[in-house]
Amino acid sequence: MWSNFFMQEEESGGGRGGAGGVRGGFRTGVKRATGKSGLTDSQEGKIKLAFFVAIVGVTLTVLAVGTEFWVELSPPKNMYDNETCTSIHYGLWKKCLKKLWVSDIDQERDSCGPADLAGDANCSYFKFFTTGENAVLFHKSTKKDLHIAAAIIALLSITFMILGSICITMALSKAVEFLLKPASFFFILAGLLILISLEVFRQSVLALLDSDQTVLVQYALSWSVACGGAAGAVLIFGGICFIVLSLPRSTWKICLRQEEAS
């Protein structure tokens, strides 16, 4: 009787062990099916460093899009009177008319400006985003189609930056490495879009100047455009970094072996 009892205990224990093995195998299969893989400290540090580079690009883009120093329009400094002259600088959303003192302008400069000199500024938003009216600057009419296109492309760039940031945040919090690939796509596309927005805006400025040739006005791209160009380069570089980090480890081993063999 006792031998039968111990045999039943061993069988029940074996059954529980087998069930535990099945459950363990089931968990392993679920883990593999979800695609989760733990990131090492080295990988996590590299991803955070690349994400910091991308955040720098995002910050520069927001700074460029939100400011109105994309271009400066400078007419002859003696266009109105010998004491003051008017310079205009504007961006995607807002234009500013600034009255400057001629005595503050460099004597060797023929045009009014630069816009960073002290003076009275009067800023207002473009009406073609609300009522569809073109703005008239120094008797020249803006090309609202090109201007609106540049603004929309810039907003699309910011949208893709947000999507890329969400992917990287999930990759770090959930240890999901495969999200690096869509993040790299989003950041590279965002960098290309902000560069395209700059070019479309430049074409709108040239179209503005060609709308009326009676008044000679000089133009100069300002520091907001420089921020946008730097942002595009940084975002593309950050996206390439995420592509490199998303490569499988076996690829790195093969490359290292080929370098050692050569």
Task: Judge whether 105 lies within some domain.
Answer: yes
Task: Judge whether 26 lies within some domain.
Answer: no
Task: State yes or no: pLDDT of 252 exceeds 70.
Answer: no
Task: State yes or no: pLDDT of 165 exceeds 80.
Answer: yes
Residue 18: HSE in the Cβ half-sphere, 13 Å Cα cutoff? 6
Which of 254, 252, 258 minimizes the C-alpha distance to 43?
Answer: 252
Q: What's the total number of domains in the chain?
A: 1
Q: Quote the pLDDT of residue 261.
A: 58
> Residues of the chain with pLDDT > 70: what percent?
79
Tell me the per-residue pLDDT of 185-229, one tens digit each, with 9 for 90 and over. 999 999 999 999 999 999 999 999 888 777 788 899 999 999 999
Helix (H) or strand (E) holding 125: strand 119-125
**Residues 213, 216, 218, 219, CA torsion sign:** negative
Task: Judge whether 259 lies within some domain.
Answer: no
Q: Which domain holds residue 219?
A: 40-248
Which of 218, 172, 203 minimizes the C-alpha distance to 45?
Answer: 172
Question: Residue range 86-95: average pLDDT?
Answer: 91
CATH number at residue 168: 1.20.140.150
Lookup: tokens for 231? 């942002």
Average pLDDT, the chain: 81
